[in-house]
Every structure is written in C-alpha cells, then in structure tokens.
Amino acid sequence: MITTSVLYASRYGTTRDIARALARILGPARALPVEELIPAACTCEFVVIGTPIYAEVPDPGVVRFVEDHLPWLTQRKVALFTSSLAPDSQGHYRTSLSRLIGPSLVSGASLGGRLDVASLDTPDRAAMEAFASMTHSSLTNADTLNWSTVAAWGLQLKEIRDSLGCRLESGQVRAEIDRFLCSHNTCGLATAGAAGARSTPIEYVYAGDCLYFLREGGAKFANLLLNQHVSICIFDPYHTMADVAGLQLTGTARLVDAQEAAADSVLQAQHLTREKLGRLPFELNIIEVRLERAELLLSALSKRGVDSRQVYNFAGPS
C-alpha cells in the first residue's frame, strides 16, 4: 500500500490545517512541517507539498526544501497546493515551484486562505497595514478557505495516488470481488437522507452487477426516497494485519417490483415465492443496488506481489 507525506510550512495555521485534512483523506499518510522531514529516512512514494503565499511568493522554507531535495522528489510523484486569500485559479503562485519540481508534479491546487488580524505578528501586521493603505482598503478578518474544495482535491489526489500502485488486471480484480461476495451473505448497507445517516446489517443476494435486499421496511426507505446513492461494507473479523479482508462498495439503489424478473433470484435465495409473499400480513420490499465501484482490501494479495488494496469500476447499464 502506497504511503503519503503531506509537507507544509505554516505561519498562522491555515496551511497546517489543510495539510492535516489532506493527510486524513489520503491515509495512510503523515502531515508534518517541511523542516521535520528527513528524506533519507522517508519511504513514502507520494508527496504533497503545501505553502502559504506571502507578498505573492511561496514560503522561503518550502522553496529551500524543494531546491535541496530535488533528487529525492524526482523519484516520487508530487502534488502542490497554495493557501492565500487572493484567488489563484491559474496557479500563478505555484509557477516557480512547479518549474522546479518538473515532470514529477501530478497535480496542483489553490485552496484559499484565512486572515485573523489579531494573530498577526508585528512585521506582518505592519506590512498588511501598508498594503491596505496603498490600496485604500481596510485591514479586516477574511476567510476564503473552502473545505469542500479541499475535500474534492483530496479525493482527486487519492485517485492519482491509488493508480500508482501495483494493480491486478481488471478481470483478476473482478474475480477476487466475485469470490469475496459469494463467500459472504451479510453486509452493512449505509444510506443518508431524511432519516440521517444509517447503516443497516442486512443479508444480500449477489447477481450480475447488483446486490439485492429483501426487507419489510424501515427508516432506510425514507433515505432512499430522497437519495438513491448507497455504500455497502463487507468484512471478515479482524485478527492481525496479515489477514485483513474487506470490501467497500458504492452504487445506486432502486425498488424492484415483485413481479419483475429481477425478483426471481432474490425470492428463490430466500426460499420464497410470489404466492408466499401475497399471503404475508405485510409487504416485503426488494432493494436493488447496481454496483458502481468496489474497493477491495485483501492482505493476502501482497503475497502475490501486488497492492493489498485494489479498485474496480463496474460497467454502467447497457
């Protein structure tokens, strides 16, 4: 499994907070100031570097780090972000560092910034007051940091990072997923909506690219009425890192009419017929989840020389 180092310089905490949030999204990862990293002792394969922008230039400590450790960085994939109050959609503030890093750079982002006037030290406050006077503006608190943007970029980086590992061929990943699903029959079905976030332990039937659930009702149906996107988790009991086995799935749910052909395998697996359903004093509802993405974690895969975490994207409906 690929590990990540999220390196940063931060005078007042904004870049540090962004770096820590990204490290959580990218885990396994560690966020730390650039001056604390010892490249010779670091085995990470993916590096994220964050720098605040002061007077329209990156932090000198970050620039020094990149210049001093270019050979180390060029052996890895690197992402770069800046934090600044001023918008920088074109990435002008990243230009000098991007040129230094060169082909190893795989992504860049400008993630906004925060200004708390009361926290400024004397030199910074004097500089900010001089700038405000020159531009005929007032020096006030400001916040352009958008955590939704941080989260979205973090997920993009996760996709990039995960693509760097040693992958099985798509057909082999699908075979492992099929084996795992067929060797289990119970999962946690997570929904979110009017009833809040809920995770329901529930038996499933696996057929094609879908999981099917047969239930009498409940709050999950209030969620599905408004939000058809679901997450599913299946896992073995944990003993040691040598035998971790789990599967996380995402997909889109719909209700299946009992008269549809898709209901046959579900009813058969539950030893039911349409006639038996009709004699019940209540309705049983069939939920179909068309699978879209699977994230498989099998420690046993590392013995085959590939990453223990494998991702598979299911084909959409034809």
Residues 153 and 228 in one domain: no
Average pLDDT, the chain: 91
- pLDDT of 151: 97
* Average confidence (pLDDT) over 250-273: 83
Identify whether residues 174 and 79 lie together within a single domain.
no
Last-in-domain residue among 107, 136, 163: 163
- Which of these, 196, 265, 40, 29, lies nearest to 49 by C-alpha position? 29
Q: Is residue 245 part of a domain?
A: yes
Q: Name all contacts of 238-246 with Cβ < 8 Å and 24+ positions apart.
A: 241/299, 242/299, 243/299, 243/300, 244/297, 244/298, 244/299, 244/308, 245/180, 245/297, 245/298, 245/299, 245/300, 246/296, 246/297
pLDDT in tens, 191-229: 999 899 999 999 999 988 999 999 888 999 999 999 999
Token pair of 204, please? 């499933």
Q: Give the domain CATH number at 84.
A: 3.40.50.360
Indicate if 233 and 187 belong to the same structural domain.
yes
pTM listed for this prediction: 0.83
The C-alpha atoms of residue 251 and residue 211 are separated, in whole angstroms, by 9
Question: Around Cβ 279, how many Cβ atoms within 10 Å?
Answer: 7
Residue whose tokens read 């941080």: 150
Q: How far apart are CA 128 and CA 142, in angstroms?
A: 13
- Cβ-based neighbours of 309, under 8 Å, separated by 6 or more: 1, 162, 165, 295, 296, 297
Considering the domain boundaries, does residue 270 fall inside one?
yes
144 and 246 assigned to the same domain: no
Same domain membership, residue 177 and residue 128: no
Domain at 210, CATH number: 2.30.110.10
Assigned domain for 318 exists: no
185, 126: one domain: no
pLDDT tens profile 14-68: 999 999 999 999 999 999 999 999 988 898 999 999 999 988 899 999 999 999 9
For residues 158 and 196, state if they share a domain: no
Q: Are residues 306 and 182 in the same domain?
A: yes
Tell me the one-letter amino acid at 62: V
pLDDT of residue 318: 44
How confident is the model at residue 316, as a pLDDT?
A: 64
pLDDT band at 10 (very low <50, low <70, confident <90, very high): very high
Could you say which of 163, 187, 211 is where a domain stops?
163
β-bridge mates for residue 294, sequence order: 249, 312
Q: Given this model, what pLDDT does residue 167 score?
A: 86
For residues 135 and 215, membership in a common domain is answered with no
Mark whether 145 and 203 lie in a shared domain: no
Question: Are residues 109 and 183 part of one domain?
Answer: no
Pairing state between β 245-256 and 285-298:
antiparallel
Residue 17 lies in a domain: yes
User: φ and ψ at 52, to 5 degrees?
Assistant: -75, 160
User: Do residues 185 and 282 share a domain?
Assistant: yes
The last residue of one of the domains, among 163, 189, 219, is 163
Number of domains in the chain: 2
* Domain enclosing residue 240, as ranges: 170-313
